[in-house]
Amino acid sequence: MGTYTVSNAQNLRICVVMVGLPARGKSFISQKIVRYLSWLSFKAKSFNVGGYRRKGAPRPSADFFDYSNAEAYKIREQAVKEAVEDMMKWFEEEEGCVAILDATNSTRVRRNWILKLCRENCIEPMFLESWCDDEDVVLRNIADVKNSSPDYEGVDSEAATSDFLERINKYKEVYQPLQDDIDKDLTFVRLINVAQQVVINRIETYLESRIVFYVMNLHIKPRYIWLSRHGESIYNIEKKIGGDSSLSPRGLKYAAKLKEMVKESAGDRDLTVWTSTLIRTQETAQYLPYKQLQWKALDELDAGVCDGMTYEEIEEKYPEDFKARDEDKYEYRYRGGESYRDVVIRLEPIIMELERQENILIITHQAVLRCIYAYFMNVPQEESPWMSIPLHTLIRLEPRAYGTKVKKIKADIPAVSTYKERGTSQVGETYDEKRKSLHILNSTSD
């Protein structure tokens, strides 16, 4: 493609080799990187060696991880070999760009073996160590692991914790952290106590530097992110897209109600409101008693020459464009305007800043909200432009170690539907909410 800020123009192949004891957030970081890169259209995949190991040893006790246990060691060797083989295949057959080898990779011998394999296959290895001696963080991670790992399914909680601590001790016996002197020729990043300190060595490519900047900005404090479209606008009623119109009377009602809804959802938490620079988002935010910030990057997808038209007018005036957009809505760029891909690129700093921040309420527009939602919920590109995100609905995201919890709160204030199905220029009337909201409803977990 080569058209975008973040493009893999050089056909780079990067293997992020995770390093760290168990319960250091390696899988969390791996999954975040994959989600971030995928959202930016880089082909990325995490290879979790634990998953491969479970085939040979589904629920091993701590003894299994003793390095003197020869039989177990063989099974573990086999697991890492299979993971690396699959990774190489993925690079070759699926033109992968960034693979994450999610394992402890505790010893220098193991890391040198991976290094050699990478070099033989024209893959840039980047070691990413998560090092942590903050007991609170480790214990929180242990709680996450024992609740989510298949290794401890159905095991009594206390027993699981104690076994897991023992397992960590087995690893500690052989663990060799990355070292400035011995490893000085490697490309590596050390995250110390959740990025309180970060050591970065020999980062050379743009993509590596982006990954580093991203992981530097991650935090694990509990928080909420609320998303809402602006209230119903005059243009919404007139079925026009784009523009900069004011809210309809029903839209204004939503603005008033939003204050209560947010108050109820947020409780005493402080939060900051982010809006776009367009009137309808600012009118929607007008009653909210929180700090507000406007971002040009949150403005609606620019429809270029079609701005201010109805879909029917677009179909009549630009029938080929209309068809092309239906065929590939993610890539289609309005004449003189933007594509969903363009919007994702300009949202990247917003996502980066969202990762850094704590409680944020974003009031923005349909296409922009789809892109932000797709990032947090890992929605594939083909689907995200077709997601239904109805008006007058507050969405609350709760980022967790493994995925994002989402809650949808309806305002119970009627609004037109602005959802346009593929292959029609009709909006709203033909709209089957149950089916179209599937994506959101499915992921609602409380």
Residues that bind its own copies (CB under 8 A): 2-5, 7, 9, 180, 184, 196-203, 206, 209, 213, 216-217, 242-244, 277, 291-297, 302, 307, 333, 335-336, 338, 342, 345-346, 348-350, 353, 356
How far from 280 is each of 135, 237, 277, 413, 427, CA to CA, in Å?
Answer: 47, 13, 9, 17, 20
Instruction: Determine if residue 229 is labeled as part of a ligand binding site.
Output: yes
Nearest distance in Å: CB 389, its own copies: 23
Instruction: Name the residue among 345, 397, 338 with its Cα closest to residue 371.
Output: 345
Closest CB to its own copies among residues 172, 335:
335
Residues 6+ apart with CB under 8 A from 152: 59, 145, 146, 160, 163, 164
CB 275 within 8 A of CB 294: yes
Residues 6+ apart with CB under 8 A from 165: 142
Instruction: Determine if residue 108 is labeled as part of a ligand binding site.
Output: no
The pairing of beta strand 403-410 with beta strand 393-400 = antiparallel
Closest CB to its own copies among residues 136, 185:
185
CB 351 within 8 A of CB 296: no
3-state SS, residue 101: strand
CB 40 within 8 A of CB 211: no
Nearest distance in Å: CB 332, its own copies: 14
Closest CB to its own copies among residues 234, 438:
234
Instruction: Determine if residue 236 is labeled as part of a ligand binding site.
Output: yes
Nearest distance in Å: CB 8, its own copies: 11
Closest CB to its own copies among residues 217, 426:
217
CA trace torsion 69, 72, 76, 78 (10° rounding): 120
Residues 6+ apart with CB under 8 A from 426: 311, 420
Instruction: Determine if residue 398 is labeled as part of a ligand binding site.
Output: no
Closest CB to its own copies among residues 184, 435:
184
Instruction: Determine if residue 232 is labeled as part of a ligand binding site.
Output: yes
Instruction: Determine if residue 234 is labeled as part of a ligand binding site.
Output: yes
Instruction: Determine if residue 48 is labeled as part of a ligand binding site.
Output: no
CB 228 within 8 A of CB 393: yes
Nearest distance in Å: CB 418, its own copies: 19
Nearest distance in Å: CB 309, its own copies: 13
Nearest distance in Å: CB 29, its own copies: 16
How far from 437 is each of 242, 253, 346, 402, 416, CA to CA, in Å?
Answer: 22, 23, 26, 23, 15
Residues 6+ apart with CB under 8 A from 318: 305, 306, 335
CB 96 within 8 A of CB 158: no
Active site residues: 230, 316
Residues 6+ apart with CB under 8 A from 3: none
Closest CB to its own copies among residues 27, 381:
381
Closest CB to its own copies among residues 2, 154:
2
Nearest distance in Å: CB 181, its own copies: 11
The pairing of beta strand 188-192 with beta strand 197-201 = antiparallel
Instruction: Determine if residue 370 is labeled as part of a ligand binding site.
Output: no
- Write out the two tokens for 280: 């309808």
Question: Can you say which residues are annotated as belonging to the binding site for substrate?
Answer: 229-236, 280
Instruction: Indicate the annotated binding residues.
Output: 229-236, 280
